[in-house]
Chain A
Amino acid sequence: MPGGSSAQGAAGIAKFRGVIGFAAFLAVWEVLPVVGLLPARYFPPFHEVLAAMGGNLGSPVFWRSVLYTAEAWFLGLSIAFAAATLVGLVLGSIPVLWRYTESTIEFLRPIPSVALIPLAVLMFGIDIKSALLLIVYAAFWQILIQILYGVKDVDPVALDTARVYGLGRWSRIRYVSWPTALPYAITGFRLGASVALVIAVTAELVIGNPGIGHQVALAQSAMALPEMYSLVITAGVMGVLVNILARLIERKLLGWHQSVRADT
């Protein structure tokens, strides 16, 4: 990305404005229901939601729900990542195999994983396996496609050069293929990580697997609105944390790469 260099001061101002913007949003949320511009029945003012969040922090049910969601997310993402990496490396490095499977992958990929919900319910009920089935299906394709791009992006000239210089098969993978494919694998991980969280929460909401999504549904049917909004915000915070985690991993593993070096 050209022209990405911004002075330290400008970044500081941007951050400052961001905080102001966020504070303004919360202030509007607080004021509108109080002065009656939004119906307070449906939009409890922010301080009530904040109080509900405070209550959550001391509630074991809340923390257990967060852990359930995090567990489904982690397991689903790990399984999907391992499977997609394996399949992607095999398909990507054997052209014949890729040619014959491409159409099938392009067909299976856009199938929405939520279509499998009824099947997951019948087979596993509210066991974590039903959520995992959906999460793995959704995240697998995102990651697989990136791995395939990565393996195919390896420069043939670089590979030939390595071969001419007498690098063995293992060294070629280590020093040529792996560094090329890694940025793609990490992009896949980042995409998969956020999809996995969305689907984990969705499964809890619709199927009733224990977790944050299920708590939102419970709060909604009890019409406990401040509670419901506080749980929605919790889900948002989990989403932000997943993004931050993915960025951290990206920075750690790709510190040498152009894309990361450019924006620090």
Chain B
Amino acid sequence: MKSRLARALTVFLLPGALFVLWFAISDSSGNFFFPPLRKILSAFADVWLDAGSASDIVPSLLRLAAGFSASLVFALTVGILLGSSKVARDYTEPVFEFFRAIPPTVMIPVLLVISGIGDVSKIVVISFGCLWPMLLNTVEGVRSADPVLNDTCRVYGIGGLRRLLVFTLPAASPQIVTGMRTGLSIAIVLMVISEMFASRNGIGFTIIQFQRTFAIPEMWSGILLLGLIGVALSLLMRVVELSVLYWYEGARARS
């Protein structure tokens, strides 16, 4: 009981103290750029918790989800195919490595020209950006699967879908999850930037509007919101990781 209390203290002491400190120090702040936290929080409630602003948060998150999942499906399909063929890998890898090296945000203007400023263009931007880490990690995961297990599957005549489900996917899953984590953080950046660059709605768009109209507490509340979304998605990713890789963490701890 006492140790649990102590642990809670170690987890919450510093964040709590920082929050209180920020609140107290900023409370009488006259600095235009750094308004009191009190004002930021009340702006947060007004701007983002209002039903009206579901019109910004929801479209942003939907685009994020659409782009990310489209990319994931593509990365898994193509990644498994490429991972199991050395010849195909040899031919495609340099091109893919080059695409991965392009800072994904510079594709925003390109795709804007091709597909306009609607939802489709943003979804394409997001999926294009998060595709490469997921694809290349899937390829690597499938490629480096244990050759002995591979041969065992073959000897026992396990093939087709069954082989995919019991051998290939589980063997590649640690790498796939790593790729997904990288891909997700790129996707968030692209969600925000594509909206800041050109949009009619979305979180990034709204935050830039606040900045341009010098609505400083509202702008800060948007920064806060993006922070919370980043933290929430990384927690979600952690849950996915634990449920997909529970066997892996166990195997690693034993060895």
Tell me if A36 is interfacial: C-beta within 8 Å of chain B.
no
A111 with B231, Cβ < 8 A, contacts A21-B94, A117-B196, A123-B33 known: yes
Interface pair A201/B92, CB less than 8 Å apart: no
Interface residues of B in 77-130 (CB under 8 A from A): 87, 90-95, 97-110, 112-114
Q: A114-B192, A228-B113 are in contact. List 14 more A-B contacts (CB 8 A).
A: A19-B94, A21-B95, A42-B113, A115-B223, A117-B192, A118-B211, A119-B219, A201-B103, A213-B106, A223-B113, A232-B110, A233-B102, A239-B102, A239-B103
Give residues 160-212 of A contacting B (CB, 8 Å). 194, 197-198, 201-202, 205-206, 212
Q: Are A205 and B109 neighbours in the complex by a CB distance under 8 Å?
A: yes
Q: Name the distance in Å between A203's Cβ and chain B's nearest Cβ.
A: 9
Interface centre among A3, A13, A14, A121 (most CB of B within 10 A): A14
B28 adjacent to chain A (CB < 8 Å): no
B240 to nearest A CB, angstroms? 14
Q: How far is the CB of B154 from chain A (nearest CB, A)?
A: 17
- How many Cβ-Cβ contacts under 8 Å join chain A to chain B? 163
Chain B 204-243: CB-based contact to A (< 8 A → 1; otherwise 0):
1001101100001001101100110011011000000000
- Chain B residues, CB < 8 A from A212: 106
Given contacts A42-B114, A110-B231, A228-B109, contact A18 B94 (CB under 8 A): yes
A225 at interface, CB cutoff 8 A: yes
A8 at the interface (CB under 8 A from B): no
Contact B107 A232, beta carbon cutoff 8 Å: yes
Does A115 contact B15, Cβ atoms closer than 8 Å? no
Across the interface, name the chain B residue whose C-beta is closest to A118.
B211
Cβ contacts under 8 Å, A217 to chain B: 109, 197
* Chain B, Cβ-Cβ closest to A225: B113
Cβ A220 vs Cβ B113 within 8 A: yes
Question: For residue B86, which residue of chain A has the nearest CB?
Answer: A14
Which of B5-13, B46-54, B68-76, B164-172 lies at the interface with chain A? B5-13
By Cβ-Cβ distance, the 4 closest A-B pairs, closest first, are A239-B101, A220-B109, A115-B226, A118-B211
Let me know if B43 is at the binding interface, CB within 8 A: no
